[in-house]
Chains A and B, each alone.
Chain A
Amino acid sequence: MNPLLEPVGVSHFMAVGALMFVCGVVCMATKRNALGVLMGIELVLNGANINFVALSSSFLSASGKSGLGLDGQFIALFVIVLAAAEAAVALAITLNFYNNHATVDVDRADELKG
């Protein structure tokens, strides 16, 4: 069966979202650079966003009815906006950390360990 001949459904989008999410998680788990971690977060958020958008789409599902309707797109919109805000704050925190420790290595930021 040639996938190019078949219409894609929500599941395909969700598979892409899952892959992006996992990439983001791995990124967060492996990067020692704080900015790398931030990028991981962006990826995770995007993965989630793909899911929302896909679920709000009315013609991707078999029944022709969207699960979330426009609500999914609203949530996606807010996620984008909040990601921007989060990026700004995280960057500010990173800069502060860099100012104080002259590095952006998250392994060095362990002052609160037990």
Chain B
Amino acid sequence: MDTKTLASLLPILLGIAWLLPLASFTLIVLFGPRMGKHGVGASYLATLAIVSGFACSVVALGLWMWVHPLSSAHAAAPEESIDAARQHEAVVDHGADGHASGHHELKTPIYYTGDLYTLGQFGKLKVTISFYIDALTVGMFAMVTLIASCIHFYAIGYMHDELHDVTDHEVVLSDGHHLHRPGRFHRFFQYLSLFCFSMLGLVYAGNIAMVFVFWELVGICSYFLIGFYIERKSASNAANKAFIVNRVGDFGMIIGLMALWGGIGTFAFGDMEEPDGTTSRGIFSQVRDAENGYKLTIPDGMVRATVPEVVEEVAVDHRNNPDPLAAESEIASRLSTYREQHYGYWLLVIAGVGIFCGCVGKSAQFPLHVWLPDAMEGPTPVSALVHSATMVAAGVYLTGRFYPVFTPEARLVIAYCGAITLFLAATIAITATDIKRVLAYSTVSQLGYMMLALGVGGWVAGLFHLITHAFFKSLLFLCSGSVIHACHTNEMPKMGGLLKKMPWTGYTMLVGCLAIIGAGLPPVFGFWPFGFGLSGFYSKDSIIAQAYSFWTENPTHGMILFAAAAGGASITAFYMFRLWFMTFIGPPRDHHIYDHAHESPRIMYLPLVILAFFAVVIGWTWPGVWGVTDLLEQARWPAEASAGVLLPNLHYPDEHESHVPAVHLVAGLTAFSTALGGFLLATVFYGVRWLNAAEARQQFAPIYTFLVNKWYFDELYDFLWVRPAHVVAGVVSWFDKQVIDGFINNLARWTRGLADIDDLIDRYFVDGLVNLTAAWTWSFGNSLRGLQTGKLRQYVMLIVIGTVALTIIINFASAG
């Protein structure tokens, strides 16, 4: 088979992987409670669906790498020049629908796109279900399905309580008893399936409208799952918070979508063959025009949208021109002038920042990071899924997907957002004592890393970290779930010394911790050109390298961003090992809990082992055969090298430059030393306990309080938004009650009064009139009754009298 035929299998394979969870969801919705005892069959069905999806994804990944062999230029030979790396890239086959480029060095990445089904066409607007498959899509599919499969297996064990009636000890009813409710085992798996379907659809989507739909589906699934224990006040609050905070971001996203569609007139990502043989250009190729050297180009539509008066003027001028194309060509000739004057640039900035707003909400970036820690109210498998492969990954994924559209200004916003988030979350994580909360803040912090990487131009680095992080963060969450399962508490101060009781959990979690801090041997020790370590080591190194590379080009911004990245790495190491030491090492702090702790069942710790394996190896590269970075490299748009309009001095270094040894060595050493510093500090405080953590806490009391209160963000938002909203609501309610209700009540009172008067008129006047007539008639008839004597002879006499009288009257009348 030729490559084209093989490649055409990709949409089918991934489509199957995408739709299987939907089928599972539908079946569970319809037949869930009847699937086996207490709906236990639902878990098997959902797991089967996602595992099959994983199989499809793996086949698709293999197919992809068969059709498009990886080039491992920079990884294998870092000493090669950047040009060489680019040439290797140029060798890569461009995709079936790829737009052929005259340039030799820069190439449009390989992608396959097409419409599956057209939902509707409204003038220019075409809403379709379409796919856009490139290396990133394939990689994400494999990652999401693999992690989701592990989590499904784990959840079968974790959620077994829901198989029978549950007494929820955290809910106290008004009568003082605890809530007793039937189990919801099947419903949990039903939501999990929908969640996987939504996330896969988001990755599969080939246009921004479809992305938005699945974006919201992911949001609603997280709402369901965070609020799974809906009877708990905290859970329902957290679910609401997650949903509402996401709405704030989505508002920005809708603005971005409007700007994009208004300016470009299409939702599709890639160029698409129309049925009539023409090619309709997608968003990416319009913004990054190959003929323009992939420089940021303001699309014609956006320029046009900003100068409507010119378009109108030209149209008026050519009113009488017989050639219908004359006006168009006139406008086109004028547009280039306006483009040079940067008309429409703002629209592009707004589109980029707007879409990033949505990502801020989904990926819990500052300032919308507040929902993610509260989302810990959901069951732990959900947390693992939300924090690694689905919900929060969606934001980073979309930022990466829309990377070509972002202007330098938008990228700087992204970078700063990420930097602030990563530092903020890391500091809060230091003081948190809830094991899941530490991990939650760690997630926020790591997401900040990814955003930072994307913001400073490290596209591959950011998405690479997304994938590696997904593995070790899901591992860490499942481990924490295992611990909670054993201890029935989330509080780390009540744990300690659990390593003996739960070796599987303990050691796999250690692997996760090492991965997240980026443990490894920096290149200076030199077995391997890039050093050697766990997966996190590679991804974090490349982020820091890119930040450093950015610093070399932009002194001011670069320094701040690099410092945030390096500092964050140190803090990450500290809080992760604080967590591990507090949980697994040292004397048991609460003997009751310690005595009852036990290792989790095999179905729960086997996924841990699988995930731990991947957390170690996923970052490894086998030149020419396997490497996540090389895979991602195939999907990268050549989107560098364009100066911003507002920030003309901002220079984005090419990502390949970060692989230059000079840069990489510095970055690697920095990362290694900061992480080591954090690790040692944690060991000193919590591992060997040479220093007393409590004393340090007292010494830095103000900072500690500040951090424990999470930088007072909740309070700030409460003050800024919630209170004013309450005040406004109170005023509105008062207005409603007093003015509107009063008005309506008065109106009603008046109406009633009027009706009463009307009633009186009716009763006494109208009825009186009728009754009077009736009474008259009756009395008249009554008076006539006397005449009706029934005496025949009397009648005869009356007739005679009448006759006589009539005759006399007529006589007199005629005589008179």
Binding site for B on A (CB under 8 A): 25, 28-32, 37, 106-107, 109-114
Q: Name the one of A25, A109, A111, A114 contacting B792, with C-beta atoms under 8 angstroms.
A: A109
Q: Which of B669-722 contact A (CB under 8 A)?
A: none
Chain B residues positioned under 8 Å from A106 (CB to CB) = 791-793
Closest beta carbon of chain B to A90's beta carbon, Å: 12
Binding site for A on B (CB under 8 A): 784-793, 796-797, 800
Is there contact, CB below 8 Å, between A114 and B796? no
Write 17 A-B pairs (CB below 8 A) sorted by A numbering: A25-B796, A25-B800, A28-B793, A29-B793, A29-B797, A30-B793, A31-B793, A32-B793, A37-B793, A106-B792, A109-B790, A111-B790, A112-B788, A113-B790, A114-B785, A114-B786, A114-B787
Closest beta carbon of chain A to B238's beta carbon, Å: 91
Cα–Cα distance between A107 and B786 once the two chains are bound (Å):
16
Is there contact, CB below 8 Å, between A107 and B788? no
Closest to B799 in A: A25
Apart from A29-B793, A106-B792, A109-B792, what 19 extra A-B contacts exist at CB < 8 Å?
Answer: A25-B796, A28-B792, A28-B793, A28-B796, A29-B797, A30-B793, A31-B793, A32-B793, A37-B793, A106-B791, A106-B793, A107-B791, A107-B792, A110-B789, A113-B788, A113-B789, A114-B784, A114-B785, A114-B789
Closest beta carbon of chain A to B688's beta carbon, Å: 126
Is there contact, CB below 8 Å, between B800 and A29? yes
Cα–Cα distance between A29 and B792 once the two chains are bound (Å):
8
Is there contact, CB below 8 Å, between B791 and A29? no
Closest beta carbon of chain A to B794's beta carbon, Å: 8
Closest to A37 in B: B792
Closest beta carbon of chain A to B4's beta carbon, Å: 113
Closest to B803 in A: A25
Q: Name the one of A28, A30, A31, A110 contacting B791, with C-beta atoms under 8 angstroms.
A: A110
Chain A residues positioned under 8 Å from B792 (CB to CB) = 28, 37, 106-107, 109
Cα–Cα distance between A25 and B793 once the two chains are bound (Å):
10
Closest to A107 in B: B791
Cα–Cα distance between A29 and B786 once the two chains are bound (Å):
19
Cα–Cα distance between A30 and B791 once the two chains are bound (Å):
11
Cα–Cα distance between A29 and B785 once the two chains are bound (Å):
21
Cα–Cα distance between A111 and B800 once the two chains are bound (Å):
23
Across the A-B interface, give the 3 residue pairs with the lowest CB-CB distance, nearest first.
Answer: A110-B790, A113-B790, A114-B785
Chain B residues positioned under 8 Å from A112 (CB to CB) = 788, 790
Chain B residues positioned under 8 Å from A111 (CB to CB) = 790
Cα–Cα distance between A30 and B794 once the two chains are bound (Å):
9
Cα–Cα distance between A78 and B784 once the two chains are bound (Å):
37
Cα–Cα distance between A106 and B793 once the two chains are bound (Å):
8
Closest beta carbon of chain A to B443's beta carbon, Å: 104
Cα–Cα distance between A110 and B789 once the two chains are bound (Å):
7
Chain B residues positioned under 8 Å from A30 (CB to CB) = 793
Cα–Cα distance between A32 and B478 once the two chains are bound (Å):
124
Closest beta carbon of chain A to B86's beta carbon, Å: 125
Cα–Cα distance between A29 and B797 once the two chains are bound (Å):
6
Closest to B793 in A: A29
Chain B residues positioned under 8 Å from A31 (CB to CB) = 793
Closest to B794 in A: A29
Cα–Cα distance between A106 and B791 once the two chains are bound (Å):
7
Closest to A22 in B: B800
Chain A residues positioned under 8 Å from B790 (CB to CB) = 109-114
Closest beta carbon of chain A to B314's beta carbon, Å: 102
Closest to B787 in A: A114
Cα–Cα distance between A28 and B792 once the two chains are bound (Å):
9
Chain A residues positioned under 8 Å from B787 (CB to CB) = 114
Cα–Cα distance between A111 and B787 once the two chains are bound (Å):
14
Chain B residues positioned under 8 Å from A113 (CB to CB) = 788-791
Closest to B786 in A: A114
Closest to B797 in A: A29
Chain A residues positioned under 8 Å from B789 (CB to CB) = 110, 113-114
Looking at B787, B788, B790, B796, which has the most chain A CB atoms within 10 Å of its CB?
Answer: B796
Closest beta carbon of chain A to B759's beta carbon, Å: 38
Chain A residues positioned under 8 Å from B785 (CB to CB) = 114
Closest beta carbon of chain B to A22's beta carbon, Å: 9
Cα–Cα distance between A29 and B799 once the two chains are bound (Å):
10
Cα–Cα distance between A29 and B800 once the two chains are bound (Å):
9
Cα–Cα distance between A92 and B789 once the two chains are bound (Å):
24
Cα–Cα distance between A91 and B760 once the two chains are bound (Å):
61
Cα–Cα distance between A112 and B785 once the two chains are bound (Å):
11
Chain B residues positioned under 8 Å from A25 (CB to CB) = 796, 800
Is there contact, CB below 8 Å, between A114 and B788? yes
Closest beta carbon of chain A to B61's beta carbon, Å: 112
Is there contact, CB below 8 Å, between A107 and B793? yes
Closest to A32 in B: B793
Cα–Cα distance between A31 and B788 once the two chains are bound (Å):
19
Closest to A34 in B: B792
Chain B residues positioned under 8 Å from A107 (CB to CB) = 791-793
Cα–Cα distance between A34 and B791 once the two chains are bound (Å):
12
Closest beta carbon of chain B to A60's beta carbon, Å: 24
Cα–Cα distance between A114 and B786 once the two chains are bound (Å):
6
Chain A residues positioned under 8 Å from B796 (CB to CB) = 25, 28-29
Closest beta carbon of chain A to B81's beta carbon, Å: 133
Chain B residues positioned under 8 Å from A109 (CB to CB) = 790, 792
Closest beta carbon of chain A to B172's beta carbon, Å: 86
Looking at A111, A112, A113, which has the most chain B CB atoms within 10 Å of its CB?
Answer: A113
Cα–Cα distance between A30 and B784 once the two chains are bound (Å):
24
Closest beta carbon of chain B to A29's beta carbon, Å: 5
Chain B residues positioned under 8 Å from A114 (CB to CB) = 784-790
Cα–Cα distance between A29 and B796 once the two chains are bound (Å):
6
Closest to B792 in A: A106
Cα–Cα distance between A114 and B594 once the two chains are bound (Å):
111
Cα–Cα distance between A106 and B795 once the two chains are bound (Å):
12
Closest beta carbon of chain B to A76's beta carbon, Å: 21
Cα–Cα distance between A54 and B796 once the two chains are bound (Å):
26
Cα–Cα distance between A114 and B800 once the two chains are bound (Å):
21
Chain A residues positioned under 8 Å from B786 (CB to CB) = 114
Cα–Cα distance between A28 and B800 once the two chains are bound (Å):
11
Cα–Cα distance between A70 and B464 once the two chains are bound (Å):
135
Cα–Cα distance between A107 and B797 once the two chains are bound (Å):
14
Closest beta carbon of chain A to B811's beta carbon, Å: 16
Looking at A30, A37, A109, A114, which has the most chain B CB atoms within 10 Å of its CB?
Answer: A114
Cα–Cα distance between A5 and B26 once the two chains are bound (Å):
132
Closest beta carbon of chain A to B649's beta carbon, Å: 120
Closest to A44 in B: B796
Cα–Cα distance between A30 and B790 once the two chains are bound (Å):
15
Closest to A111 in B: B790
Closest to A112 in B: B790
Closest to A27 in B: B796
Looking at B784, B785, B790, B800, which has the most chain A CB atoms within 10 Å of its CB?
Answer: B790
Closest to A110 in B: B790
Closest beta carbon of chain A to B778's beta carbon, Å: 13
Chain A residues positioned under 8 Å from B793 (CB to CB) = 28-32, 37, 106-107
Cα–Cα distance between A113 and B788 once the two chains are bound (Å):
5
Closest beta carbon of chain A to B803's beta carbon, Å: 9
Closest beta carbon of chain B to A110's beta carbon, Å: 3
Closest beta carbon of chain A to B775's beta carbon, Å: 18
Closest beta carbon of chain A to B712's beta carbon, Å: 101
Cα–Cα distance between A99 and B272 once the two chains are bound (Å):
113
Cα–Cα distance between A109 and B789 once the two chains are bound (Å):
10
Cα–Cα distance between A34 and B785 once the two chains are bound (Å):
24
Chain B residues positioned under 8 Å from A37 (CB to CB) = 792-793
Cα–Cα distance between A82 and B606 once the two chains are bound (Å):
125
Chain B residues positioned under 8 Å from A110 (CB to CB) = 789-791
Looking at B784, B786, B793, which has the most chain A CB atoms within 10 Å of its CB?
Answer: B793
Closest to A106 in B: B792
Closest beta carbon of chain A to B337's beta carbon, Å: 111
Cα–Cα distance between A37 and B786 once the two chains are bound (Å):
23
Cα–Cα distance between A111 and B788 once the two chains are bound (Å):
10
Closest beta carbon of chain B to A45's beta carbon, Å: 14
Cα–Cα distance between A113 and B800 once the two chains are bound (Å):
20
Cα–Cα distance between A106 and B790 once the two chains are bound (Å):
9
Closest to A24 in B: B796
Closest to A28 in B: B796
